[in-house]
Amino acid sequence: MSPRNESPKASGKSGHKHGGHGEKSTTEPVASPGVVSGGDDGTNADVSAPATKGRSAKAARSASRGGRSSAAQPGTAQASAATATGSSVTVGRTDPDGGAGARGRPKATKANGAAKKATGARASARREEAGAQAVQVAPDLIDETARYLFNEGRNFRAHEMLGAHPTEDGWRFAVWAPNAKAVSVIHDRNGWSAGEDALAPQGSSGIWAGVVKGLEAGDAYKYAVDGAAGMREKADPYAFATEVPPKTASVLTGLEYQWHDGEWMARRARAQAPDAPVSIYEVHLGSWRRPASYEALSRELVEYVTRMGFTHVEFMPVMEHPFYGSWGYQTSGFFAPTSRFGPPEGFMALVDALHQAGVGVILDWVPSHFATDAFSLGEFDGTHLYEHADPSRAIHPDWGSYEFNFGRHEVRSFLVSSATFWLERYHADGLRVDAVASMLYLDYSRESGQWVPNEYGGNEDLEALSFLRQMNEHVHEDFPGTLTVAEESTAWPGVTRPASHGGLGFSLKWDMGWMHDTLTHLSRDPIHRRWHYDELTFRALYANSEAYVLPLSHDEVVYGKGALATKMPGDDWQRRANLRLLFGYQWLLPGKKLIFMGGELATWQEWSHESELEWHLLHHPAHAGVARFVEDLNRTYRHFPALHARDLSPDGFMWVDAGARDDGILAWLRFAEGQPAVLAAINLTPVPRTRRLGVPQSGIWAEVLNSDSEIYGGSGVGNGGGVQAEEPSWNGQPYSVEVVLPPLAVVAFTPR
């Protein structure tokens, strides 16, 4: 495969989650006459409002939703490519770095110039035979109000205005390239000849548009953008489909699919309410099972997740990405699911199948940074459009990727439209926003002298804050009942507080502190755990400060960290017992739940995106027992409202015994209004314990969960199915029970 149409290896130097470097650009923006320029600093030039700006807010909102305008009417005078864009330019299929042509074509030379001209002539002849001019250009092809809202950062359905869309007259193309001198569509049918299917500027919006005839769904295309740095061939930022990497062209698609998930969509808001049980299975599409395909996952993953009792699946980024080793976190296609596993409709069918099985779908979404590959968003028209022009902010120091310029209105329209697109067109039930901390702080991973304070002298990125609030407000208004989840690793206040009350407006936040402290504690030898009890008890001090997800994510099982089971001390039996203890502790605490695929198998190998999970372990009863325990955890969690109904309320949790550090015991109660309480206790030592614990109600308390049960691979120590609650009062409760706490285990009881 020629490197012209491949993702350069340079954009993914290693398998790091955000790996990859691009070179900093030193090009200066050059504005075309009559076209708004972004300026050297990447800020927005003034854009005059259209004459229709006085229309009602309802009309403006309608335009922002659609952005559609009819194509040029029959009989309209069409500008030639030379008139609309200057002299027609034909270039070889070469990268600016001199790479060879796409689709295996050789680099353009004098020797092949004649052949190229012949190819273009044949393409023109084919269109003439069809009896139509190839491209229609008109000054008002894109609705004026939609353009205005886009330039103002308030068009949240820009994907309906920009990109490639089928019309009665052909395929309408529109792309934002405000500093370009000329833009044209290049594709197989015109011999990939720049200038032949030219687009025309749409007022002063910076948008170029035109209708190209003779194309069909499935055809590959790019934009030839003649800008300040010369001719560049770029994938469509708003493309709905792409070629299979390492190819890099965009692909035409009408994105047609008939959904069958009406029942789920009708009850989704209730299933995702703050008091609902939410247990999430985090999945990497390419390595759950192999060979991976949307079609196979629609059968196998749906059956597995349903049987295991998870309420949701969270997919690591499905958005197209050039480097497979980035796991999707170096995105290039913000409106296209990766084509590695099938067509876009295949991913729709996967979501549909999960919904029909009653399972919600959360998508990882990365609005913080993007891939530096030459075909992608960076220096799109020869200037810095999507990224910062300031070199100190253009490239992220950790990941070598471009950082989005959140201060630019059109970038906000682009990103919020991406969020809209996945929620609306793919029926996603939530978006988990990656790397929020890197967006909030100007000095994130930067030393003194490498960043500039904001206008108030602080380190907060005010533009990113504005974007996050805007995005969350839009999502919650237009898609009520959906979730936005923040991966935010600092103590930033109000992440899940509504934006109208000064917060960021997310639905949920990952509790990274809980994940770190809990794994640190359980990795200790049990004999030393008594000295570090605060690693488990500290969370109670902040548990109600946000709406939390308790995550055990992919980040904890890569880069030499080992699998969850191998983090645990002791022999293999003790490791699996500690792992069951970890899961039980996680499920019985307040907060929504998330585990990464493979944890339930007690895998010994840390996760690799290059191989499937160790499914053979299920043939071993001890490993199958861990999976059975997770299945029963989900069943118990969903059955008892006390374990989820008051996740966000201080009166939903109470310590019963948090001071028995020498015995390695912790015990607590969970409550729900009008529902039976649940008593939970853990034994952090390999020695069985007997302990009296206070409870609020007399009578038989049934043992509803015991991680040491033999069916889970445990030793079988337990309480014979239940215990009697009676006087004396204990731990501030009117009654008490005497319970046996198995070694390295968690138990739970509820009144019978």
Has 487 been annotated as catalytic?
yes
Task: Report long-range pairs for 113-120 (Cβ below 8 Å, ≥24 apart).
Answer: 116/90, 116/92, 116/191, 116/193, 117/90, 119/191, 119/193, 120/90, 120/190, 120/191, 120/193, 120/196
| DSSP 8-state code for residue 242 | B
Rounded CA-CA distance 169/713 in Å is 66
Beta strands in 341-497 (DSSP E): 360-365, 369-370, 402-403, 430-433, 483-486
Residue 641 in contact with residue 277, Cβ under 8 Å? no
Q: At what angle do helices 344-356 and 294-308 cross, to 10 degrees?
A: 20
Q: Sheet with 665-670: list strands edge to edge.
A: 653-660, 665-670, 678-683, 745-751, 699-706, 722-725
CA distances (Å), 288 to each of 292, 301, 357, 560, 612, in order? 8, 8, 19, 20, 5
Judged on CB neighbours under 10 Å (0-12, 13-18, 19+), 665 is buried
Identified catalytic residue from 261, 320, 487, 600: 487
Residue 711 in contact with residue 727, Cβ under 8 Å? no
Phi, psi of 121 (to 5 degrees): -65, -40
Tally the C-alpha atoms within 13 A of residue 186's C-alpha that lie toward its C-beta: 30
CA distances (Å), 57 to each of 153, 416, 499, in order? 15, 19, 22
Q: Identify the residue whose tokens are 């009602």.
A: 56
Contacts of 79 (CB under 8 A, 6+ apart): 137, 200
Contacts of 591 (CB under 8 A, 6+ apart): 511, 514, 543, 548, 549, 550, 647
| DSSP 8-state code for residue 387 | B
Q: Given the DSSP bridges, would you call strands 333-337 and 360-365 parallel, antiparallel or unpaired?
A: unpaired
| DSSP 8-state code for residue 147 | H
Rounded CA-CA distance 589/652 in Å is 10
Rounded CA-CA distance 103/513 in Å is 48
- Helix (H) / strand (E) element for 319: namely strand 319-320
CA distances (Å), 64 to each of 160, 175, 299, 536, 604, in order? 9, 16, 38, 49, 51
Q: Which of 595, 586, 33 is nearest to 603 (CA)?
A: 595
Beta strands in 368-417 (DSSP E): 369-370, 402-403
**Six token digits for residue 55:** 């229309």
Has 144 been annotated as catalytic?
no
**Six token digits for residue 583:** 């899961």
Q: Given the DSSP bridges, would you call strands 483-486 and 508-510 parallel, antiparallel or unpaired?
A: parallel
Rounded CA-CA distance 723/703 in Å is 8
Residue 481 in contact with residue 269, Cβ under 8 Å? yes
Q: Which of 478, 492, 541, 494 is nearest to 514 (CA)?
A: 541
Which region, left, alpha or beta, applies to residue 732 given φ > 0 means left and ψ of -120 to 50 means alpha?
Answer: left
Q: Given the DSSP bridges, would you call strands 430-433 and 402-403 parallel, antiparallel or unpaired?
A: unpaired
- Helix (H) / strand (E) element for 655: namely strand 653-660
End-to-end CA distance of the chain: 67
Residue 556 in contact with residue 565, Cβ under 8 Å? no
Q: At what angle do helices 344-356 and 262-271 cross, to 10 degrees?
A: 70
Identified catalytic residue from 143, 373, 434, 488: 434
Residues labelled as active-site residues: 434, 487
